[in-house]
Amino acid sequence: MGKTRIALLGFGTVGTGVWNILSTSKGEIEANIGEEIEIAKILVKNIGKRRRVEVPPGILTTDFEEILKDTSIKVIVEVIGGMEPTLDYIKMALESGRHVVTANKLLISKFGSEILRLAAENSVNLRYEASVCGGIPLINVIKESLSVERINEVAGILNGTTNYILSKMTDEGCSFETALAEAQAKGFAEADPTSDVEGFDALYKLRILSKLVFGVETNEDLIFREGITNITKDDISHAKELGYKIKLLAAAKRSMDKIVLRVAPTLVPEKHFLAGVGDCFNAVFLKGAAVGELIFYGKGAGELPTGSAVVSDIVGILRNKSTGQKDRKSTVDISCQTTEWSKSKYFVRFSMNNKTYDIQKLISVFESGNSRVSKMLKVEEAAKTSNVLLIISEADTLELRKALAKLEATFESVKGLRVLRVEDFEAEEFNPQILDAGNL
């Protein structure tokens, strides 16, 4: 039986997962590809560091050149993360004729097209299943099974850390700060949580998915991004009153010849699958012209789930040495559009004095500005004030901004104005429903 020698760059969580899976699934792998996979070298920063797994002496190295020079190594697996020095390593690996597997979302998001071109020029494969939603076999599904499906929408919970935080806040009624601290204590969030909680991580993944399903490069600057740091317990409980849960949703939608992309805390109907995605789980919703709605759910991170995606890529390359996966190219001219001009559904909340509350006048403030109100709920909060919760069924950002200015001008007592996006995942017919709990 033959043997393929591979090298790991990095030996942290994901690298350890790859090592463990290749050891425990030896039988399955040999039966499947008809050869053995041997990890010949592992690039680390510190050879002497104590590790959770024991590796044969001599396979650890701090010198990338040593790996590059070993021509018996056919596949190089990058699980270091970040841009420096990984981008150079990957380029050198591809240029030297090695297949590359990477779990690096930042790198693929920013330099995917460039390094995929480099792979093609050198007749080698570059796979990156683990870069989006860890263990969910999403990228290869889009490239293989859905390769000719016309996908019009992709939306999902792409970041496990923020989903853990929001689930915690929803289920236990705790604050963002408390939930974040717990996520950090459990190792789900990093000491500096910026990339997760501000939506950067989800944005990188959305760009990768969006390139895959629409076949076009998107301009990162045109993607609307809002994190979850401002989400309060009140937001969550008010969303619940209207039948919604708040999720950090990354969404890309085709609208005529444009794609609109955004990452934002979003109200999702409580009964929708995505609302049921708890803990650190990830889920992705796709809508295809023929196939209809598809949802993929699984673990987005962790040693073994992410490791399994990396191993699946290694096996995929070894099974299909001759055939590189082709990336989709759009057959029509579509481009990325800023969300500023696109229509969306919104949740609006404010408190006001009961005396000045006038349902018809409130609705007309919004509707005169083309923001259609589809649900309204008044919840008495104290003796004199009420919370007003509205679902605006359709408005563009500028129209809505004007309506909100008019609202504050018309009703002096309006306070604590809060606006969040809503995603119902269906072409809902306009069917106004005015719920005035205060009068029930």
Among 7, 8, 9, 29, binds a second copy (CB under 8 A): 29
Contact at 8 Å (CB) between 190 and 232?
Answer: no
- Select from 76-84, 136-144, 238-246, 342-350 the region that touches a second copy (CB under 8 A): 136-144
- Select from 60-68, 91-99, 256-264, 286-294 the region that touches a second copy (CB under 8 A): 286-294
Q: Nearer Cβ to a second copy, position 15 or 302?
A: 302
Rounded Cα–Cα distance for residues 251 and 154 (Å): 6
Number of other CB atoms surrounding residue 137 within 10 Å: 17
Residue with token string 């425990």: 24
- Select from 68-76, 189-197, 292-300, 370-378 the region that touches a second copy (CB under 8 A): 292-300
**Collapsing DSSP states into helix, strand and coil, what is residue 406?**
helix
Can 205 be counted among the known catalytic residues?
A: yes
Q: Nearer Cβ to a second copy, position 67 or 318?
A: 318
Binding to a second copy by residue 271, rule CB under 8 A?
Answer: yes
Binding to a second copy by residue 298, rule CB under 8 A?
Answer: yes
CB of 120 to a second copy, least distance (A): 14
Binding to a second copy by residue 27, rule CB under 8 A?
Answer: yes
DSSP 31-74: HHHSEEEEEEEEE-S-TT---SS---TT-EES-HHHHHH-TTEE
Strand intervals (E) in 89-232: 99-102, 126-127, 151-157, 224-225
What's the token pair of residue 204? 């990188």
Binding to a second copy by residue 152, rule CB under 8 A?
Answer: no
Q: Nearer Cβ to a second copy, position 175 or 320?
A: 320
Binding to a second copy by residue 289, rule CB under 8 A?
Answer: yes
Rounded Cα–Cα distance for residues 393 and 189 (Å): 35
Residue with token string 């794609």: 259
CB of 340 to a second copy, least distance (A): 30
Binding to a second copy by residue 322, rule CB under 8 A?
Answer: yes
DSSP 67-127: HHH-TTEEEEEE-S-SSTTHHHHHHHHHHTT-EEEE--HHHHHHHHHHHHHHHHHTT--EE
DSSP state at residue 297: E
Which residues would be at the binding site for a second copy (CB under 8 A)? 17, 21, 24-25, 27-29, 31-32, 129, 135-137, 140-141, 144-150, 271, 273, 276, 288-299, 302, 304-305, 307-309, 311-312, 315-316, 319-320, 322-323, 326, 328-329, 331-332
